[in-house]
Amino acid sequence: MGAPRISWRTAVVTGAATLLAGSGAGTASWAAYRLLMAQAGAARGVIGRDTSKPPEADGIYTAGCVAPEPWRTGKHADLHLMIFGDSTAAGVGCLTADGVPGVRIARALAEASGKRIRLSTKAISGATSKGLAGQVDAMFVAGPPPDAAVIFIGANDITKKHSISASARRLGAAVARLHLSGSVVVVGTCPDLGTVSAIPQPLRTIVWNWSVRLARAQFAVTIAAGGHPVALGELGREFRTAPEQMFSADGFHPSAAGYELAAARVLPALLAALEQRGLNTDRGAHGLRRGLAARLRGLVAQKSGAVAADDAEARNGRGDVPGARQVRYT
């Protein structure tokens, strides 16, 4: 995601057509359009535009380091990790660098392997899948491809209502270029935008539906291009039941706790892929995976009462996003 420059008018027109498909009632269609336009305006006003920059996070990470070493030509790193995508990849919403997802991943890799991990960030706030080609181009201009690439992309494609098939195709092309250059590529697919409470119903259900469809398409093209997809939309349950903990102050970007969950989802896939490639992550790797799984279970258990109440509400027909918990991308 980036600063939420949401193409609400396009969303409203498409949403109204979706909700009223097959209806010949012009008056009803106009009423639905007016309703969704009003909801879009309210959401835009609540969310606003986050123009803040994410904390500087690049450098060389080692096991137990307090701060990264600045990268300079001639310095040594055992593994180069590069982050591509939008503002969620860059960590907008974090107050310190320690919460940025790339930093969490780099630190975990350093702890698991005992190696020097260089972190580089190509992600740009506000980017859509159209911008991935430019980010990959910039990488090739700057130097050799990274050993590992992590991509978070999709939310802005939804808010700007880009074609789902075209967005997925662009992601697949970027993954293929990185994979063919020798990089291990892990993709965090589109998050569940139905968790953004500033978007009212029924518009939120429409946006949720688009995000689910894009995530499924991204999952498929990533596998086809040789990458490793991770379904970040499955974190929707945690974000929905603990929004004050999982979202930053703008109500749109994740908080440090939200990014921690995202990194915990990505890390097992990245560690497994690097082990297949030959990186020795035996040092604490299995314990690290167990710790990440325990962290996820702990958060769910902590909020179990809220989850039970939410499920009861959904069964009574008052849930915010019908059927969201049945979503699976595999």
**What's residue 251's pLDDT?**
84
Res. 212 pLDDT band, cuts 50 70 90: very high
Per-residue pLDDT tens digits for 135-147: 999 999 999 999 9
**What's residue 51's pLDDT?**
54
- Span 124-150, mean pLDDT? 95
Mean pLDDT of the chain: 78
Catalytically active residues are: 87, 250, 253
**What's residue 52's pLDDT?**
63
**What's residue 324's pLDDT?**
35
Using CA atoms, how far residue 189 sits from 87, 178, 219, 250, 265, in Å, is: 14, 17, 7, 22, 11
pTM summary value: 0.76
Task: State the Cα–Cα distance between residues 146 and 185, nearest whole angstrom.
Answer: 10
Q: Are 86 and 160 in contact (CB under 8 A)?
A: no
Res. 196 pLDDT band, cuts 50 70 90: confident
Which region among 246-255, 257-266, 296-305 has the lowest average model confidence (pLDDT)? 296-305
Maximum average pLDDT range among 148-157, 195-204, 245-254: 148-157
**What's residue 311's pLDDT?**
46
- Span 209-219, mean pLDDT? 96
Q: Which ranges of 249-303 would DSSP assign to H, the alpha helix?
A: 256-277, 285-302
Res. 330 pLDDT band, cuts 50 70 90: very low
Query: Looking at the predicted structure, is the pLDDT value of residue 74 above 70?
Result: yes
- Hey, what are 296's tokens? 């996820």
Res. 265 pLDDT band, cuts 50 70 90: very high
**What's residue 223's pLDDT?**
98
Percent of the chain with pLDDT over 90: 53
DSSP 174-207: HHHHHHHTT-EEEEEPPP-GGG-TTS-TTHHHHH
**What's residue 174's pLDDT?**
98
Other beta carbons less than 10 A from residue 151's beta carbon: 31
In terms of pLDDT, which residue wins out, 179 or 35? 179
Q: Which residues is 84 bridged to in the sheet?
A: 151
- Span 250-269, mean pLDDT? 92
Per-residue pLDDT tens digits for 25-50: 444 454 554 555 555 555 545 454 55
Per-residue pLDDT tens digits for 286-314: 454 445 445 444 544 454 444 444 444 44
Q: Which has the closest alpha carbon to 206: 23, 25, 30, 40?
A: 40
- Span 201-225, mean pLDDT? 92
**What's residue 328's pLDDT?**
30
**What's residue 165's pLDDT?**
97
Q: Which ranges of 185-277 would DSSP assign to H, the alpha helix?
A: 203-224, 236-241, 243-246, 256-277
